[in-house]
Chains A and B, each alone.
Chain A
């Protein structure tokens, strides 16, 4: 979307991650079609997108697991293509599937990380992480016996060994219960408070809304929008009144009578644009009365990230179909 030239990697720079013109294809299937963005140091950047949009591919390129076909990627001031070692020294990655060793205990997993990263006084670091992630009680049990939430916590704790400056979290809360999700969010906020840069991918808008300073929406390998949650919400007029019908015949006549509305044939519902004020709501009701339409259910929606997300990603998939 934005094609910003990569800044030189020497000297002072405020970008923790700078990407431009990033392309990646598998065979003739283009996964990333020239994306670019900057992530300020010490901020949370969220890459938002539906399944298959290319989020994990992006993380894999940024985290040196995958080579890009084209484009420049600087992480912590180093080019991922040429300074792989320096990049790896600066980052920590927690992927979509918990990368813990099932046959080792939580403590042993952390000790292994401390040993591999050559951390001094590793035992203290391990103890502090176990305490911080509330894993002390199960520290000496095999990770295979951990619940999903505990595994994610252990996974993140392992990533934090050695204090990486930049942390990649690829869908860190997918499949977690609401409480575990909130715990993860708390941990992310603490990390940011300590000055860590977070690159987060998620398909949950609420998560991006809660955590991210900057959000980029990825759809079919392209960035379709970028900004803060507030900026994105202003991008599309998402406020509307939704009328739902149970009888298909009533729905069809209502859809025909009401112009300038969005219709959803499957849900038998129509959406009338609205800013959600009392005055406008009354005028809508008057209008419905005058046309003799009686909906079975009426709900008022204020714009949220979901609307932005659906509007933006739908637009690109429609374009793709029409091509």
Chain B
């Protein structure tokens, strides 16, 4: 077997392992889906009435909630990656010459899949709550593609944070900023309604162009500036996450 096919086969074995972990630990999936639903109910049914965003609040909030769903699912990954590094199993894989990075690939793929599943559920719940998108099939495809790209980029970043953290608890904490960022974005209210300092932060943080692009795709009126910024952020974060993860893995493993 060539090195590449060895690496792919090892990654597939690791993915199967992560997949089993997910089914054994359904609380992780449940959490990743339940929390965004609770947030959704809270924002749409409780706060939403008080926000004037110009459209039905569920239509405004759903793209932001999707991004929040992605970021909320990451904490579990950071903890799982850290667990793998601190428990004996990593040494076993190392003495067996398992392809470098197969373990990381497994975590990235399972996280991306979990994010997509959670987003699918959230979209279903949004429809049940009266979500009325204005999107063609191509727009939907674009939105799904962006969700997958964001998940993928955030997964690499989270895997890196999980590797860099000293303890599993620390790894869980490291993912908190990623969970908080959507709140400081245009996810729930438009940026121009915010105070000066916050508004600038909101405008320049990665989640805002991502959410605006998603909103544009689902509700119409996508701006190419936001789209380019969103894709650039995703690619940038994915590269940073990947480089950081691989170098930390080499150092620690």
Contact = CB atoms under 8 A, between A and B. Distances in A.
Interface of A: 63-65, 84-85, 88-89, 91-93, 95-101, 103-104, 108, 112-113, 115-118, 142, 158-159
A97 B88 contact: yes
Contact of A116 (B20, B24, B98): B98
Interface string B89-124: 101111111100000000000000000000000000
Interface of B: 1, 9-10, 13, 16-17, 20-21, 24-25, 87-89, 91-98
Contacts of A64: 94-95
Contacts, number: 58
Contacts of B87: 97, 99
CB-based closest 10 A-B pairs: A99-B88, A88-B97, A99-B92, A97-B88, A103-B24, A93-B95, A103-B21, A115-B13, A99-B89, A63-B95
A140 to B, nearest CB: 12
Nearest to B22: A103
Nearest to B1: A118
Contacts of B95: 63-65, 88, 91-93
A104 B94 CA distance: 19
Nearest to B92: A99
A172 B243 CA distance: 37
Q: Which secondary structure dominates chain B's binding surface?
A: helix
Given A95-B92, A115-B13, 9 more contacts: A64-B94, A89-B97, A95-B88, A103-B20, A104-B24, A112-B17, A113-B96, A116-B93, A142-B24
A104 B98 CA distance: 18
A115 B17 CA distance: 11
Contacts of B93: 116
A95 to B, nearest CB: 5
Contacts of B21: 103-104
B94 A116 contact: no
A167 B201 CA distance: 57
Nearest to A158: B92
Nearest to B253: A65
Contacts of A118: 1, 9
A55 B9 CA distance: 34
Nearest to A86: B97
B20 A104 contact: yes
8 contacts: A93-B92, A99-B91, A101-B17, A101-B89, A103-B24, A104-B21, A112-B13, A116-B13
A89 B6 CA distance: 14
A206 B87 CA distance: 29
B91 A116 contact: no
B94 to A, nearest CB: 6
Contacts of B92: 93, 95, 99, 158-159
Contacts of A92: 95
B96 A98 contact: no
Nearest to A93: B95
A98 B88 contact: yes
Nearest to A96: B88
A71 to B, nearest CB: 20
A95 B24 CA distance: 26
Contacts of A115: 13
A89 B96 CA distance: 7
A91 B20 CA distance: 28
A88 B25 CA distance: 32
Given A99-B87, A99-B89, A101-B89, A88 B17 contact: no
Contacts of B20: 103-104, 108
Contact of A65 (B10, B17, B94): B94
A64 B91 CA distance: 10
A80 B193 CA distance: 64
A11 B20 CA distance: 46
A20 B181 CA distance: 55
Nearest to B12: A115
A103 B22 CA distance: 9
B88 to A, nearest CB: 3
A304 to B, nearest CB: 32
B15 to A, nearest CB: 12
Contacts of A88: 95-97
A101 B84 CA distance: 9
Contacts of B96: 88, 113, 116-117
A113 B17 CA distance: 11
A96 B87 CA distance: 11
Contacts of A96: 88
Nearest to B90: A99
A118 to B, nearest CB: 8
